[in-house]
Structure 1
Amino acid sequence: MIRHMAIPPATTPDVLDLTDPVRPAWLDDAPRPVRTYLWRPASTPRGTVLLSHGSGGAAVTLSWLAEALAAAGFLAVGVDHHGNSYPTGYVAEAFACWWDRPLDLTVALSEVAAREETGPVGVAGYSAGGYTAAALLGARIDRGIYSDVVHERIPSAPNPEYPNIVEELKSRLTEADLDQWIDHCGRNYRDARARAGFLICPGMAPALDTESLRHIEEPVSIWSAGADDQTPAPEYALRYASLIPGATHQSAGDSVEHYAFLAENEAGAPARAMVATAAVDFFTRTLA
């Protein structure tokens, strides 16, 4: 598994231990936890940006982006995706039920908006979080492709954060479970409040419904990394960019690796600084 270092962010965010009563937690019948972090600007926010971390990560791994957004006047709202986030432990099902991620952001946004001013809303994400951001704009998983993966008709890519996921899921999932997952996977999880998306090394691209990407109307900025061996740009970032109308694509550099965008990765600091500046500029323009 990828070993994340628990490095605290430079600015301590407020933490809300929210729950979603509609969805149960993975390991018991309690409501699904949606731990939410708020990086606040110095004054009334000019807008809010939702943040989704990569698979197996945590909201604080995107503190570099959250802090830049807060310094520019935005309220940055990140979540720990339950079962797919290292601070609270991994659950195999959470690595396969990708659609829970956009639902987490919708819950967090609704709860925060009920408490305070948010202004116009954008969404940003890294790796699996890039898919999450796109899903809030209308990207959908292709049911046929997902069905082929879960029934092992086509091979799935190795999961570096949960290498034994296939064996573990096979030991306890029934056909009824898989049918329910296939039904959920292809639904539209768009949140009409999200007005722009910023995708960093976005994942899940080969499994997404082509027409759903073609129907995204909001502005989208996509960033890739030239040395990315987890979500290589030709199969991932460039698929998003070629299908989403008006989307822009830029590379953070030929030598930049996938994990450069984790806050604890010292070598990735220059790439993160460049992308954070680009994100601030993008949301300043699109959420004006």
Structure 2
Amino acid sequence: MELMQMASIGQFAVGATYRDYIDERRRSWVSSSARPLITTIWYPTDEVAKVKKQCIAVFQTGHYAINATISQQQPRYPLILVSHGTGGSSASIAWLCVRLASAGFIVAAINHHGNTAAEPKYLLEGMILWWERAKDIRCLLDHLLADEIFAKAIDSERIGVAGFSIGGFTALACAGARLEMNRWKSHCELNQSDSICKLPPEMSFNIAEVWHAIENNPHILAAWPEANECYRDSRIKAAFAIAPVAKGVVSDESLQSIDIPVHLVAGSADDQAAPENNAKLYAAQIPNSTLEILPNVTHYTFLSEGVWWAKLFDKQFLRDPKGVNRRKVHDTTASVAVSFFYKSL
């Protein structure tokens, strides 16, 4: 315990491995097989010599050793579950995961089925059925606590959740935030600029297709009755939300009943999840919450750094405003997350 309290970013070398978990209780939206829960797990390791700089697709994902053994410096480590943003993947949020692991956490990030660039294509179901993400996190936690390797290395009394964008909402849903999806269309009639109404640029669908799917898509129709349920997981003791969205369709009462520590981070120049309409409102209604606004930071500054060749042609997701250093923003945000989870878990 004392070593954990003193740990900081960079204290441990980092290992990583992968798990092809599934959820037998739910079906894939593209086949009759079980719902996939493809997961990357980062963790402290003592195999420093195996650590290498890693890149996945267009992202620099950090320095870590693939399939290294878990460090024996501590008998157990706290666990952080991580949810990516719309159309993202574990690679797109790896900057946070690797830094947390280097500070003494086991960190597991899932690729949410239908809403991830790690799959061949995006699915409208994955973009609309946000509450399925909280179910993913719950099932992932079940798997990790039964995993042959990780179960004995996880301190099951110290579990947190973190997420970015719609993943930020996912983290809050695991803390008790509850949707009121019947308000979505009426909310959008009055707030057309809200990202959940105009849809983010990474989506290949338009809002008209969304309204049509809600009334006609059989998968969406089957899932819709569970939209407004509470997905609070009592095993999770703290939540960290980066640039969360969807406040316009979240129950105020549910936020006021959240009873675990919550920390929110947002960028002042965020044009996808404007803090005035999201993070600030969440913070105002969640009792035990704190909020940090980072000046001039945009929504996509919270994505992993891009590889050099991708930054040459991508101006929206991999480049930042003048004066904003993405790596420094990541360092600052991760340091806040480490301090928050040390205090809360």
Cα distance change of structure 1 residues 172 and 16 upon mapping to structure 2, 3 Å threshold: same
- Residue 203 of structure 2 is matched in structure 1 by 162
- Residue 39 of structure 1 is matched in structure 2 by 42
Cα distance change of structure 1 residues 176 and 29 upon mapping to structure 2, 3 Å threshold: closer
Cα distance change of structure 1 residues 90 and 47 upon mapping to structure 2, 3 Å threshold: same
Give, in whole Å, the separation in 2 of the partners of 1:105 and 1:176: 24
The answer as to whether partners of 2:198 and 2:207 remain within 8 angstroms in 1 is no
Letter of the aligned partner of 2:78 in structure 1? G
1:64 counterpart = 2:95: yes
Cα distance change of structure 1 residues 73 and 11 upon mapping to structure 2, 3 Å threshold: closer
What's the CA shift string for 1:181-218, capped at 9, x where partnerless?
Answer: 44211011111110000010011111101100000000
From 303, 309, 312, the counterpart of 1:262: 303
- Residue 131 of structure 2 is matched in structure 1 by 99
Residue 143 of structure 1 deviates from its aligned partner by 3.5
SS in 2 for 1:242: helix
Gaps of 5+ in 1: 1-9
What's the CA shift string for 1:90-116, capped at 9, x where partnerless?
Answer: 111110000111111111111011121
Gaps of 5+ in 2: 1-12, 46-70, 306-317, 320-324
Residue 166 of structure 1 deviates from its aligned partner by 3.6
- Residue 7 of structure 1 is matched in structure 2 by none
From 77, 83, 87, the counterpart of 2:114: 83
Cα distance change of structure 1 residues 144 and 72 upon mapping to structure 2, 3 Å threshold: same
- Residue 131 of structure 1 is matched in structure 2 by 169
Range that drifts further, 84-93 or 179-188: 179-188
Letter of the aligned partner of 1:59 in structure 2? S
Give, in whole Å, the separation in 2 of the partners of 1:282 and 1:95: 30
Residue 175 of structure 1 deviates from its aligned partner by 8.0
**Number of aligned residues:** 276
Give, in whole Å, the separation in 2 of the partners of 1:179 and 1:21: 20
Cα distance change of structure 1 residues 77 and 175 upon mapping to structure 2, 3 Å threshold: closer
SS in 1 for 2:198: coil
1:209 counterpart = 2:251: yes
Give, in whole Å, the separation in 2 of the partners of 1:90 and 1:12: 29
Cα distance change of structure 1 residues 64 and 167 upon mapping to structure 2, 3 Å threshold: same
Q: Select the structure of larger CA radius of gyration.
A: 2
Q: How does 1:196-275 map to 2 (within 5 A)?
A: 196-252=238-294, 254-264=295-305, 265=318, 267-275=325-333
1:281 counterpart = 2:313: no
Letter of the aligned partner of 1:28 in structure 2? S
The answer as to whether partners of 1:45 and 1:75 remain within 8 angstroms in 2 is no
What's the CA shift string for 1:26-85, capped at 9, x where partnerless?
Answer: 111111100011101233443000000001000111111111111111100100000100
What's the CA shift string for 1:107-163, capped at 9, x where partnerless?
Answer: 11110111213211000001011000000011000143136479x898522332224
Cα distance change of structure 1 residues 86 and 178 upon mapping to structure 2, 3 Å threshold: closer
CA RMSD of aligned residues (A): 2.3
Give, in whole Å, the separation in 2 of the partners of 1:157 and 1:103: 26
Residue 11 of structure 1 deviates from its aligned partner by 5.7
- What TM-score does the superposition give when structure 1 sets the normalisation length? 0.89
Letter of the aligned partner of 1:232 in structure 2? A
- Residue 140 of structure 2 is matched in structure 1 by 108
Give, in whole Å, the separation in 2 of the partners of 1:178 and 1:34: 19
The answer as to whether partners of 2:213 and 2:220 remain within 8 angstroms in 1 is no
- Residue 5 of structure 1 is matched in structure 2 by none
Give, in whole Å, the separation in 2 of the partners of 1:179 and 1:191: 25
1:23 counterpart = 2:26: yes
SS in 2 for 1:49: strand
The answer as to whether partners of 1:45 and 1:74 remain within 8 angstroms in 2 is no
- Residue 4 of structure 1 is matched in structure 2 by none
